[in-house]
Structure 1
Amino acid sequence: MQIHVIGPNQSLFGIAQAYSTTVNDLIEANDLPNPNDLVQGQALVIPIIGRFYWVQSGDSLYSVGRKFGISAQQLATVNRIPLNRPLSIGMRLYIPPRPKRNAEINAYVEPRGNSVAPALEASAREAAPYLTYLAPFSFQALRDGSLKEPLLNNFPAIARANKNTLMMVITNQENDQFNAELGHILLTNIEIQNRFLNTIVSTAKKYGFRDIHFDFEFLRPTDREAYNRFLRRARDRFKREGWLISTALAPKTSATQKGEWYEAHDYRAHGEIVDFVVIMTYEWGYSGGPAMAVSPIDQVRKVLTYALTEMPGQKIMMGQNLYGYDWTLPFVQGTVARAVSPQQAIELAATHNVPILYDSKAQAPHFNYTGAQGKRHEVWFEDARSIQAKFDLIKELNLRGISYWKLGLSFPQNWLLIVENFNVVKR
C-alpha cells in the first residue's frame, strides 16, 4: 500500500494503470467523495500489497534499497533484474512490504444529547475491528462519589464482538465542563473517595469494562500529589479485579510547565503508577483559536520527546485527532471554527476548485477558499500523508500506540493505513 498525491490533470484511470490496480478499487479504498472531480494535492491510498517506485536520476539498486530498508539483492530478485544492471530513469521497481510491529489502538466515542445517533454507532462498528480499546466518553463523577453515566447503547456489545477492551472513561466534569473543585473533593475527601471507587468497581462489573481510564483535567496545581495518591489507591483496587488503569495527560514539554491544564499532571508519577497514558497531542489549532494545523508534528514530537524522559515508550499512546477545522478569516476572538472530517474537507476543496497544499513542517494538508458570502476561509485537516507521518513517529519512538479523539467523522484512509503499518493488539 502506498500514498499517491494527485498532480495536475491526473485521472483515476491513469493512476490505476500506473499502480496496476482498478478505478473501482481506488474509489472503494478511499471512499472517494469526488471521484469525478479530483483535487490537485489530494492524497490517495493505493490499495496494493507493497509499493512501486519510479527510478530517478542517480538511482541504483543499492541506493533505492537503502531508501526502503531492503537489500539490493532482494530488490533485484523481486524485480527479476540483474544485480548490477544500470537503471533507466522512469523504470518502475516493486518494493515488497516491510514487517509490521504490534500496536494498541484506542478510540473515544462521545454520544451527545438524549440518544445515540445511528451514524455514530455505525462509525464505532466500522472502526472496532481496528481497535484494541473502545472508549465511550464519559462517566462524569459527582460530588457525592457517584457517577453520571453516558449513553452506552450498543457500545459494550460492539466491543465484545470485536474483541475490544471496553475502556471506562471517568471525568471530573460538571455540565460537560472540567471542574477543579469537583476534582479536589474526589481526590481529598476519603469518605467520598471510597464511595467513588466502590461505584467505579460495581459499574465496571455491570457493563464489562476492563480498563479504567481517568481523564481528570483543569485540576488545581496543589492537588498534584493528591491525584498521584488517588491513582495508587485506584491501581491497587483495580488490580485485584484484573483490570488495567490508564490516564489522559495534557501535552507538556517539561516537568515545570506552567498553566492550569498542566501542573497537576505528573508525567513521572503516572508513568510509574498506571499501565499506560494517553497524551492529548492535538488542539494546537482549535475551534476557538486562529487557523493552524490541529496536531502539527513538530509540536507533537516535542511533547513525546519530553514524555520519554519520564516514562517508557511502551506506556505512551499518542493522541490524534480524526477531524479538522474550517475557519472564517480574518480570525476574530470569540468566533468558532466548524469541525470537518477529512472527507468533508476534500469535498470543500473540490466544490470551490482550489488545490490542497501540504505544510512540510507541520506535516498537515490545508487550503483556502472563498465562501458563498464572499468570506475567505482556511481549512486544516488530516489526510493519508499526515497520518502516515504520525505512524512513522510512533515506530521511531517505539510508543505503545495511538488514541483517537473521536469517532464520528469519516476518515477511511486512516484505518487502511493502520492495517498497513501495525498488527493491532487485541486484549
Structure 2
Amino acid sequence: MQIHVVQKGQSLYSIAQAYGISYQEIATANEIPNPAQIVVGQALVIPITGSYHWVQPGQSLYLIAQLYGLTVNELATINRISPSSILQVGERLYIPPRPKKLAEALLYVEPRTPVAQSMIDEVRKRVASLTYLAMFSYEVRRDGSLKVPSIDDIPNIAQSAGAANALVVSNLEDFAFNADLAHAIFTDLAAQDRLFSNLIQIADEIGYKDIHFDFELLHPEDRELYNSFLRRARDSFHPAGLTLSTALAPMTSDIRTGIYGAHDYKAHGEIVDFVSIMTYEWGYTYSDPQAVSPIGPVRNVVEYAVSQIPSEKVFLGQNLYGYDWSSPYPSQGGLPARALSPQQALAIAVSQEVDIDYDYVAQAPHFNYMDDSGVQHEVWFEDARSIQAKFDLVKEFSLRGIMYWKLGLAFPQNWLLLTDNFTIRKIT
C-alpha cells in the first residue's frame, strides 16, 4: 500500500497510470463516489503490494535505501539496476512491503434501539480486521443491576469472524457520566457483588470474553475506591475465564485532582489485563478549531503511559471522526462544532471545491470553506497520513494495539492501512 496526496493538475486516471493500476481500483479502495471528483491535498491509499519511490534531486541509491531500511544491493537487485547506477530525478524505484508487526485492534460499537441494518452491515464489513468488538454500553445502576443495550445479532457476527466480544460497562446515567453513581457502587460491596455476578452471567450467555470498564468523570477522591473496585472485579472475573480492561483518560503525569484524578495509570497497569487510552478530543465539540488527536500531545500521553503501564497492555485510542466548526467559534459564543466522518469531510471539500491543507506538526488535515449562507467554516479530520502517524507510534512504542471510537463513521483508508501495517492478533 502507498499513500498518495493529490497534486494540482492530477486526476484519478493520471495517478493510476503512475502506479500501473486502474483508476477504478483506487476509487473502489478509497470509496470515492465519483472518480472525476477529487481535490488537491486529498490523501489516497493506493492498493498495490509494496510502494514506489520517485527519485528527488540530490538522492542517491544509498540515501533511498536508508530511508526504507534496505541495503544498496537489495534495492538495486529489486529494481534490476546496478548498485553504482546514477539515478535520474523522477525515476521510479519499487520498494517491497515491510514485515508486518503483530498487534490488536479494538473497536467500540454503540448500537441504538432498534439496531439499524446499516449498523449490522458495517459490523460484518469490519470484524475481520478486529481483535475485539466492544459493545458500548451496559449502564450500571446503583444497586448493581444493569441497563442492557440493544445488541441484535452483533456478538454472533463478531464471533463468527474471529473477533472477541467485549462488554463495556459505563457509569452513564441519563446520557451523562455520573460520578455519584460510580461512588455509590464503589462504596457498596453488596452492589459490587451483584454487579460482578450479573456481568459474569451475561458474559456466559452472550459470549463476551472481556469486561471493559469505561468509568469517566469520577470524583478524584474516589481514586483508591476505584482501584479497590477493580481488584475485586479482577478476582471475580479471572476465575470465570474473563479478562478485565479499562478505558483511561489521556494524561501526561500522575494527576490526582479534577476530572482525570481517579484514573491511576500505575494501579490499572498492575490490576487489569489491558487499557485503552482515550488519546483524542483535543479538538472537540466546544473547543475552537484544531486537530482532534494531534501527534505531539498524543505522543506525550503514550510516553507517560508506558512509564507506568507495561506497553503490551496499552491500546492507543484513535478517533474515526473530525469536526466542522462554524464562525463565530465556541470561545466567541458561537455554536458547538458538528462531528463528521473523514468521508463526510472529503465530500464537503469536493462539493466546495477547496484544497485540503496538512498540518505537519499536528499530523492532521484541515480546510476552510464558506457555506451558502456566507458563514465561514473550518474542518479538521483524519486521513491516511494522520492514521499512519498513529500506526508508527504503536510500532515505535511496541504497544498492544489500537482502539477506535467508534464503528459507523466511514474511513476506508484506515482499514486498508491497518491490515497493511499489522497482522491482527485473534483471541482464541
Counterpart in the other structure of 1:347:
347
| Deviation per residue, 1:279-328 (Å, 9 max, x gap) | 00001111122111111111111111111110111110011000111111
Measured after TM superposition, the shift of residue 204 of structure 1 is 1.0
The question of whether the paired residues in 2 share the 8 Å contact of 1:288 and 1:334 is answered with no
Hey, what does 2:253 align to over in structure 1?
Answer: 254
Cα deviation 1:396-416 (Å, max 9, x = unaligned): 111110000001111111100
- Asked if the contact 1:278–1:318 (Cα under 8 Å) also holds between the matched residues in 2, the reply is yes
Does residue 44 of the first structure (1) align with residue 56 of the second (2)? Answer: no
Whether contact under 8 Å (1:281, 1:300) holds in the other structure is yes
Deviation at 1:33, TM superposition (A): 3.2
SS of aligned partner of 1:134: strand
State the match for 1:119 in structure 2.
118
Distance 2:146 2:340 in 1: 32
Pairing 1:368-407 to 2, within 5 Å after superposition: 368-407=368-407
- Within 2, Cα distance between the matches of 1:410 and 1:126? 11
Following the alignment from structure 1 to structure 2, what is the Cα–Cα distance between the partners of residues 65 and 358? 27
Q: Which residue of 1 aligns with 2:269?
A: 271
Q: Which residue of 2 aligns with 1:72?
A: 72
- Per-residue CA deviations over 1:407-426 (Å, capped at 9, x if unaligned) read 11111111000111000011
- Could you tell me how far 1:34 is from its partner in structure 2? 3.9
Tell me which residue corresponds to 1:35: 35
Give the equivalent residue in structure 2 for 1:301.
Answer: 299
Residue 280 (1) aligns with residue 278 (2): yes
Report the 3-state secondary structure (helix = DSSP H, G, I; strand = E; otherwise coil) of the residue aligned with 2:240: coil
- Kept in 2: contact 1:33–1:346 (CA 8 A): no
User: Match of 1:164?
Assistant: 163
Partner of 1:235: 234
Q: Secondary structure at the match of 1:64?
A: helix
RMSD of Structure 2 on Structure 1 (CA): 1.0
Deviation for aligned residue 1:335: 2.2
| SS across alignment from 1:124 | helix
- Taking the aligned partners of 1:340 and 1:101, their CA distance within structure 2 comes to 31
Within 5 A, what are the aligned runs for 1:315-334?
315-332=313-330, 333=333
Match of 1:204 in 2: 203
The answer (yes or no) to whether the contact 2:220–2:257 under 8 Å persists in 1 is no
Q: Distance in 1 between matches of 2:256 and 2:104?
A: 28
CA separation in 1, counterparts of 2:346 and 2:364?
13
Identity of aligned residues (%): 54
Summarize deviations over 1:165-213 as a string: whole Å, max 9, x none.
1000000111121111110111111111111111111111111100000
- The change in CA–CA distance for 1:33 and 1:299 in structure 2 (over 3 A counts) is farther
Q: Determine whether 1:20 maps to 2:20.
A: yes
- How has the CA–CA distance of structure 1 residues 144 and 257 changed in structure 2, closer, same or farther, with 3 Å as cutoff? closer
Residue 88 (structure 1) aligns with: 88
Aligned residue for 2:208, secondary structure, equals: coil
Question: 2:140 aligned with 1:141, yes or no?
Answer: yes
- Answer whether contact 2:167 2:210 (CA < 8 A) is retained: yes
Instruction: Report the Cα distance in structure 2 between the residues aligned to 1:10 and 1:257, rounded to whole angstroms.
Output: 53
Structure 1 length normalisation: TM-score? 0.98
- The Cα of 1:125 is off from its aligned counterpart by 1.4
State the AA in 2 paired with 1:290.
D
**Aligned twin of 2:110:** 110
* Aligned residues of 2:106 and 2:133 also touching (Cα < 8 A): yes
Q: Give CA deviations for 1:127-162 in whole Å, capped at 9, x if unaligned.
A: 111000001110000011000011111211111111
Q: Unmatched 5+ residue regions in structure 1?
A: none
Give the paired residue count.
Answer: 425
* Separation of aligned partners in 2, 1:297 and 1:158: 34
The SS at the match of 1:8 is coil
Do the aligned residues in 2 keep the contact of 1:214 with 1:247 (CA within 8 Å)? Answer: yes
TM-score, normalised to structure 2, is 0.98
Q: Distance in 2 between matches of 1:257 and 1:374?
A: 46
CA shift, 1:374, in A, is 0.7
Q: Deviations over 1:344-378 (max 9, x none)?
A: 11110011111000001110000000001110111
How many angstroms apart in 1 are the aligned matches of 2:88 and 2:373? 52
Q: Which moved more, 1:281-290 or 1:130-139?
A: 281-290
Residues 251-292 of structure 1: CA deviation (Å, up to 9, x unaligned): 0110036322x1000000000111110000001111122111
Q: Distance in 1 between matches of 2:219 and 2:56?
A: 57
Could you tell me whether the CA contact under 8 Å between 1:34 and 1:350 is conserved in 2? no
The equivalent of 1:421 in structure 2 is 421
After the TM superposition, which parts of structure 1 deviate over 6 Å for at least 4 consecutive aligned residues?
none
Helix, strand or coil at the partner of 1:253: coil
Instruction: Answer whether contact 1:228 1:270 (CA < 8 A) is retained.
Output: yes
Q: Distance between the aligned counterparts of 2:145 and 2:392, measured in 1? A: 42
Which has the larger displacement, 371-380 or 33-42? Answer: 33-42
1:334 Cα offset (Å): 6.4
What runs of 5+ residues in structure 2 fail to find an aligned partner? none
AA aligned to 1:142 is R
Equivalent position amino acid for 1:362 in 2: A
- Counterparts of 2:358 and 2:256, CA distance in 1: 31
Q: Deviations over 1:41-83 (max 9, x none)?
A: 0010000000000111222221111001111111011001111
In 1, are the aligned partners of 2:342 and 2:411 still within 8 Å (CA)? yes
Q: Which amino acid aligns with 1:387?
A: I
Which deviates more, 346-355 or 30-39? 30-39
Amino acid paired to 1:281: T
